[in-house]
Amino acid sequence: MSLLILILIFSLLIKSKKNNNLTVTVVIPAYNEETSVAHVVKTALSCKYVNEVIVVDDGSSDKTYDIATSAGANVIRHETNIGKGSALNTGFKNSKGDIIVFVDGDLLNLTKKQIEVMIEPIIKGKTDITKTKFKREAGRVTELTAKPLLDFFFPEINFDQPLSGQFAAKKSILNKMKFEKDYGVDAGIVLDADVLGFRIKEVDIGRIEHEMSNLEDLNKMATEVVRTIVDRAIEYGRITMLDSLGKYIRMGVLGLSLASLGIFGVFFIRFLSPIFWLGLFVVGLVVAIYYIFKLVKRSINTLSYEKSNFQTIKSFFYMHSPMLVSGFILLAMVFTLFGAIEVEDNQISIEPNSGNLIIWQNSENNTTIDVRGPYTIDGAIEGEESIIRISQEALDTLGLTYEDKIILTNESYNFAGPRTGGENNIIRISSNLRNKLSLNIGDVIQDSNLRKQFVGIYALHYSNINMGLVNGVSKYPIENLIIKEGIILQPTKMNNAKLVEVFINNQSIFTTSGIMDNKSSYLVAINNTVVNKIILTNESETVSEFVYGKNIYKIVIRDNANSNVIFADNNTGKFLNFEIFNYDSKLE
C-alpha cells in the first residue's frame, strides 16, 4: 500500500514538473492602441509564467507599433487592418509557447494577477482552455446577440460571458481550431472547443476597463458574432434545414420514398407499366444508398467531435428520425414481399394480398413482368351459363386462351373476356360450375392458387398456326391450321414430362409439352377424324408418322421436359386434333 502511494506521489511530481516547464506566449492584438498597449505589454512581461509577448499591429495609423516595440514586445505588423481574428491567428502562428494567452490591447487597468489566473488552471492540468469573465459597465453584444443564439443552437454552453475576449489555451488544442478573421474569433474558439470535447473553464479576473465602442462598431461586432455562431451551428448539425447533414437526410429520405413508391406502384398502380415502377425503385434505392453513406460518414465525424454530448444525441435523433422511419417502411414492404415469394421452375411469383408480381426467368413466350390478381368469384351473366368471363391475365396463369374450353361432366364451358375494364379481377362463373368447383360468390383467389381451383379438369387448348407455304415451295399449302391439345390442368410444373414436336413435310411447325404415360395410347385427329394412334414405348424418343392428303405428318415425342398439364389419353379424349380451314378435299 505504501509503495502504491509513493508511486502516485512520484507520478504527480513528474506531472507537476512537466507542467511547470510549459512555456507561455501572450498575444496582444492592437489597432490604434497607442494609449494602452505599453501598459498591457509591460504587465504581461511581468508575469512569472510568461516567456514571450507578441503584439500584432493590425494596420494601425498611430504610434502603436513604435510604443509596443519600446515596451519590449515582439511586434508583427499588418499593412492594413484585416480584423481581430486575423491578428490573433498571426500571433498564434508566430508564437513559441506551449500555452497561448490572448489579451486585448486596449485594457487600461490590466494586472499580472489577472493574466496569471488565466494561465494557472492550464499549467496545473485542470483544464485545456480558460476564458474570462469580469465586471464591466456593459456587454451589449453578449447579452443581446450572442447569448440568445447560443441558448438556441448550443444550449449546453452556459458561460456568464461567452465573448470575454481574454482567454488562454494549449497551443496543441488551438491547432485544431478555425480562427475567424474578425470579431467572431472569440465565439468560434469557444464553440470549437465545446464541440471537440475539450475542457473549458471560466475564470473570474475581477474588473477591467477599456474604451467603450460606439454603436457603429458594436453593430459590426454583433454581425460578425452572429455569422460565426450560425456558421458553426450549420457546420455542427444544429440547423437541420441548412446544414450538409440536413441535405443528406432529405436526399436519403427522398431516395427511400422513391423506392417505397416504386414497390407500391408495382402492386397497386396499374395505369403505368410495372417496368416503370421497378425502375423508380432502383433509382430511389441508388439515391438512398449514396446519401445514407455520406450521412453515416458525416454523422460519425460529428459525433466523434461531440463526444457524449446529450444535446447533440437528442438533436441527431430528431434529425434522423424521418430517415429511420422511411427506412423501416421500405424494409417492412420488402420483407413482406419476400415472405410471399413462390418459385416455380422458370418464374418467380411474389404474392402479397393485393396481387401477384410475376417475373419470368425465361421470357421467350411470356411478358417479362406482370401483376395479377387477386380474383373475386361472382355469378355469371344471365344467359351465359356456359361461359366463364375471365381476364387475360388469369387465363395466362391457367395457360389457356379465349379460344379454349373446359369440359367437366360432359358439359362444355367457353372462356370470354370481362364485361368492362373494371372487372379485370372478377371471374364470373355459373352456379352449376361453381358447385362443381366448390366455389362461392365472394371467394377471393390469389393468382398462384388459381390453377389449383381447376386441377384435374379436361381442357381443349387451341394453338393457332398460319402455315403459309411449307418450305416456301409446296404445291398444296396448308393454310389457317389450328391444333387443339387435349390436356388436363395441373397446379404446378412437373419433371419427366414429354416434349412433343410436330412436323409437316419435314418442317417443324409446333412444339408443346405435357405428362404422358408410357402404358397409354394417344389419339391424333384431323378435322375431328381420328387418323392415328400413338403407342408410347419406354424408349427416350417415340416417332409416329402418317400421311393425310398430300402431306406427311410426323410427331416426335422425347423425354426430359417440364409441364403443368397432362395430355389426354385415348380414354379421355383426343390428344391432338388438327383443324384445317378452307381445306379442299379434291386436292387429296
Question: In terms of domains, do 115 and 184 share one?
Answer: yes
User: Which residue has better confidence, 440 or 327?
Assistant: 440
Residue 474: predicted pLDDT: 43
Q: Does the residue 305 lie in any domain?
A: yes
Residue range 52-88, pLDDT digits in tens:
999 999 999 999 999 999 999 999 999 999 988 899 9
Question: In terms of domains, do 330 and 399 share one?
Answer: no
List the domain range (segments joined by +) for residue 178. 19-235
User: Which residue has better confidence, 364 or 186?
Assistant: 186
Q: Does the residue 274 lie in any domain?
A: yes
Question: In terms of domains, do 413 and 524 share one?
Answer: no
Query: What's the grid cell of residue 95?
Result: 508564437
Question: In terms of domains, do 214 and 229 share one?
Answer: yes
CB atoms within 10 A of CB 70: 12
Q: Does the residue 253 lie in any domain?
A: yes
| Total count of domains within the chain | 4
Q: Does the residue 355 lie in any domain?
A: no
Residue 586: predicted pLDDT: 35
Partnered with residue 129 across adjacent β-strands are 169, 200
CB atoms within 10 A of CB 278: 17
Question: In terms of domains, do 217 and 95 share one?
Answer: yes
Angle at 451 between CA 446 and CA 456, to 5 degrees: 150
d(CA 565, CA 395): 14
Residue range 549-560, pLDDT digits in tens:
888 899 999 988
Burial class, 340, CB count within 10 angstroms (exposed 0-12 / middle 13-18 / buried 19+):
middle
From first CA to last CA, the distance across the chain in angstroms is 121
d(CA 200, CA 157): 10
Q: Does the residue 348 lie in any domain?
A: no
Lowest mean pLDDT of 155-169, 375-389, 499-513, name the range: 155-169
Predicted confidence (pLDDT) at residue 468 exceeds the cutoff of 90: no
Question: In terms of domains, do 319 and 186 share one?
Answer: no
Question: In terms of domains, do 100 and 230 share one?
Answer: yes
Length of the chain: 588
For the segment 316-342, the average pLDDT, to the nearest whole number, is 74
Question: In terms of domains, do 164 and 258 share one?
Answer: no
Question: In terms of domains, do 421 and 272 share one?
Answer: no
Sign of CA dihedral 217, 218, 221, 223: negative
Q: Does the residue 557 lie in any domain?
A: yes
Predicted confidence (pLDDT) at residue 390 exceeds the cutoff of 80: yes
Paired sense of beta strands 341-344 and 347-350, if any: antiparallel
Residue 508: predicted pLDDT: 86
Burial class, 573, CB count within 10 angstroms (exposed 0-12 / middle 13-18 / buried 19+):
buried
For the segment 309-326, the average pLDDT, to the nearest whole number, is 70
Nearest by Cα to 439 from 566, 431, 567, 177: 431
Choose the final residue of a domain: 401, 429, 453: 453
- Percent of the chain at pLDDT above 90? 30
Residue 368: predicted pLDDT: 65
pTM: 0.49
Q: What is the DSSP letter of 139?
A: -
Q: Does the residue 14 lie in any domain?
A: no
User: Which residue has better confidence, 56 or 518?
Assistant: 56
> Domain containing 396 — which CATH number?
2.40.40
Q: Does the residue 4 lie in any domain?
A: no
Residue range 87-110, pLDDT digits in tens:
999 999 999 999 999 999 988 889
Question: In terms of domains, do 47 and 140 share one?
Answer: yes
Question: In terms of domains, do 203 and 252 share one?
Answer: no
Predicted confidence (pLDDT) at residue 273 exceeds the cutoff of 60: yes
Lowest mean pLDDT of 9-18, 204-213, 281-290, 575-584, name the range: 9-18
Question: In terms of domains, do 326 and 282 share one?
Answer: yes
d(CA 200, CA 190): 8
